[in-house]
Amino acid sequence: MPVRRWSKRSKRRSSAQSLVTPQDDGVHVYLFWSPNKERYLSHTAAERVTAEELCISAAEAVGITPLFHVLFALYDPMSCCWYSPNHVFHPNEGSCLILHFRMRFYFRNWHAFNDKEPDVARFTVKSETHADDDGQPVLEIKSVEYLFAQAKYDFVNELFPMEKLNSEEELSLFKNESLGMAMLHLMHLALQTGSTLQRVAKKTSFINCIPKSYAKHISEDKVLTKMRLRWMFERSMRTYQNNMEAKKPDVKEIICKYIYALECLAPRFGSETFAVRHLRLGGDDEHTSPDASRDGGAETVHELMVSANTGLQWREMMEKPQHNKNNQWTPFCDFPGIIHIAISEANVCISTQDNKCMEVEMSSSQEARSFISLLDGYYRLTVDAHHYLCHEVAPPRVLLSQANGLHGPIQ
What is the model's pLDDT at position 286? 67
Sequence-distant (6+) residues with CB within 8 A of 267 are 163
What is the model's pLDDT at position 335? 97
Q: Report the alpha-carbon distance of residue 201 to residue 18 in Å, rounded.
A: 25
- Residues in a beta bridge with 179: none
What is the model's pLDDT at position 411? 43
Asked if pLDDT for residue 17 goes beyond 60, the answer is: no
What is the model's pLDDT at position 223? 93
| pLDDT, tens digit, 9 for 90 and up, residues 23-53 | 888 999 999 999 999 999 999 877 899 999 9
- Confidence label for 20 from pLDDT (cuts 50, 70 and 90): confident
Asked if pLDDT for residue 109 goes beyond 70, the answer is: yes
Residue 81 and residue 367 in contact, taking contact as beta carbons nearer than 8 Å: yes
Asked if pLDDT for residue 127 goes beyond 80, the answer is: no
What is the model's pLDDT at position 285? 61
Reported pTM: 0.89
What is the model's pLDDT at position 406? 76
What is the model's pLDDT at position 318? 67
Q: Report the alpha-carbon distance of residue 307 to residue 108 in Å, rounded.
A: 9
- Confidence label for 405 from pLDDT (cuts 50, 70 and 90): confident
Residue 28's nearest CA partner among 62, 57, 66, 60 is 57
- Residues in a beta bridge with 109: none
Comparing 324 with 265, the larger pLDDT belongs to 265
Torsion region of 293: left, alpha or beta (phi above 0 gives left; psi -120 to 50 gives alpha): beta
| pLDDT, tens digit, 9 for 90 and up, residues 266-301 | 999 999 999 999 999 987 666 666 543 344 444 558
Q: Report the alpha-carbon distance of residue 72 to residue 85 in Å, rounded.
A: 10
What is the model's pLDDT at position 319? 63
Phi, psi at residue 269, to the nearest 5°? -60, 130
DSSP 3-state percent helix, strand, coil across the chain (nearest 5): 40, 20, 40
What is the model's pLDDT at position 129? 56
CATH number of 272-403: 2.30.29.30
Q: Report the alpha-carbon distance of residue 262 to residue 253 in Å, rounded.
A: 14
Please provide the average confidence, as pLDDT, over all residues in the chain: 88
Residue 1 and residue 118 in contact, taking contact as beta carbons nearer than 8 Å: no
Four-way CATH pick for 6-103: 3.20.20.70, 3.10.20.90, 2.60.40.3710, 2.40.170.20: 3.10.20.90
What is the model's pLDDT at position 295? 46
Asked if pLDDT for residue 1 goes beyond 50, the answer is: no
Summarize the confidence of residues 65-72 as an average pLDDT: 96
Comparing 408 with 246, the larger pLDDT belongs to 246
